[in-house]
């Protein structure tokens, strides 16, 4: 199941009012499958931009992105959608749950319109149990706390069994205790499910508890090391 990700000289430039701004500058990076990797840096350092490129939500200005040794640069929009479904699970700071759907329906949402070999509802119920919210199956997002909404979002990201979870500040809108619960849940899922996790954060204490810590500044990687695994 493990699948590596390779970034080769990725550049992302934005143009406006005659000025070109480089969000990413020639980023070279290899991410090993199955690892829990943190990505840290100040606002504007390029963390979220890099995450969007790795998840194929955006295209680089130049450079190449490979998943499992295969370039995704030449995939058309339908092929990219299929690739994301097979490979990537996204977790966002803002949860992005559909307000008119129940918790269970939100988890099932990525499977809507997809032909799969398993029972969609059964798998979603198992994930509800995995994140400790079986009793909230019929609750709407407005009836859930922030931490509960994020756990539903994590279950939704896992429903199609991705090879990578890309988490963009998933604890940023949560209090310390709830954020700790979410972080520990992601660590457990990484260990039990075997999916790689790329965890974007501003929090150095969380970043240090990953298998590997990558630090960015001004669109470049300035440090890349094995993290220290604080208890």
Rounded Cα–Cα distance for residues 91 and 155 (Å) = 9
Q: Assess contact for 199 and 188: CB atoms under 8 A.
A: no
Pairing of strands 164-168, 19-31: unpaired
Lateral strand order in the sheet of 62-67? 19-31, 5-16, 62-67, 70-71
Rounded Cα distance, 149 and 94, in Å = 9
CA atoms within 13 A on the CB side of 118: 12
- For residue 227, what pLDDT is reported? 61
pLDDT tens, N- to C-terminus, the chain (231 residues): 678 999 999 999 988 777 888 999 999 999 999 999 999 999 889 999 999 999 999 999 999 999 999 999 888 888 998 999 889 999 988 889 999 999 999 999 999 988 888 899 999 999 999 999 999 999 999 999 999 999 999 999 999 999 999 999 999 888 999 999 999 999 998 998 889 999 999 899 999 999 999 999 999 999 998 765 543
Architecture of domain 33-59+76-226: 3-Layer(aba) Sandwich (3.40)
The answer to whether 9 and 27 have CB atoms below 8 angstroms apart is: yes
Cα gap 180→13, rounded to integer Å: 35
Distance in angstroms (rounded) separating the CA atoms of residues 151 and 185: 8
The domain locations on the chain are 33-59+76-226
- From edge to edge, which strands make up the β-sheet containing 196-201? 88-92, 164-168, 196-201, 36-40, 212-217, 220-226
pTM above 0.75, yes or no: yes
Which residue bears the tokens 């500044």? 217
User: How many whole angstroms separate alpha carbon 43 and alpha carbon 31?
Assistant: 22
> Cα-flanking dihedrals φ and ψ of residue 156, to 5°?
-60, -40
In this prediction, residue 19 carries a pLDDT of 83
Q: CA–CA separation, 211 vs 150, rounded Å?
A: 23
């Amino acid at each position: 199941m493990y699948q590596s990700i390779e970034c080769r000289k990725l550049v992302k430039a934005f143009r406006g009012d005659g000025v070109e701004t480089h969000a990413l500058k020639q980023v070279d990076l290899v991410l090993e499958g199955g690892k829990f990797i943190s990505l840290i840096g100040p606002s504007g350092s390029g963390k979220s931009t890099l995450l969007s490129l790795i998840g194929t939500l955006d295209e680089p200005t130049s450079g190449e992105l490979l998943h499992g040794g295969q370039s995704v640069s030449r995939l058309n929009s339908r092929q990219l959608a299929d690739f994301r479904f097979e490979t990537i699970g996204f977790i966002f700071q803002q949860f992005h749950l559909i307000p008119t759907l129940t918790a269970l329906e939100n988890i099932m949402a990525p499977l809507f319109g997809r032909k799969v070999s398993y029972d969609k509802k059964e798998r979603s119920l198992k994930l509800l149990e995995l994140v400790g919210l079986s009793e909230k199956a019929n609750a709407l997002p407005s009836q859930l706390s922030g931490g509960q909404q994020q756990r539903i979002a994590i279950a939704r990201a896992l429903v199609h069994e991705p090879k990578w979870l890309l988490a963009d500040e998933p604890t940023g809108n949560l209090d310390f205790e709830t954020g700790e619960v979410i972080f520990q849940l992601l660590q457990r899922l990484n260990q039990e499910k075997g999916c790689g996790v790329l965890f974007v954060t501003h929090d150095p204490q969380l970043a240090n508890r990953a298998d590997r810590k990558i630090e960015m500044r001004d669109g470049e990687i300035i440090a890349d090391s094995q993290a220290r695994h604080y208890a």
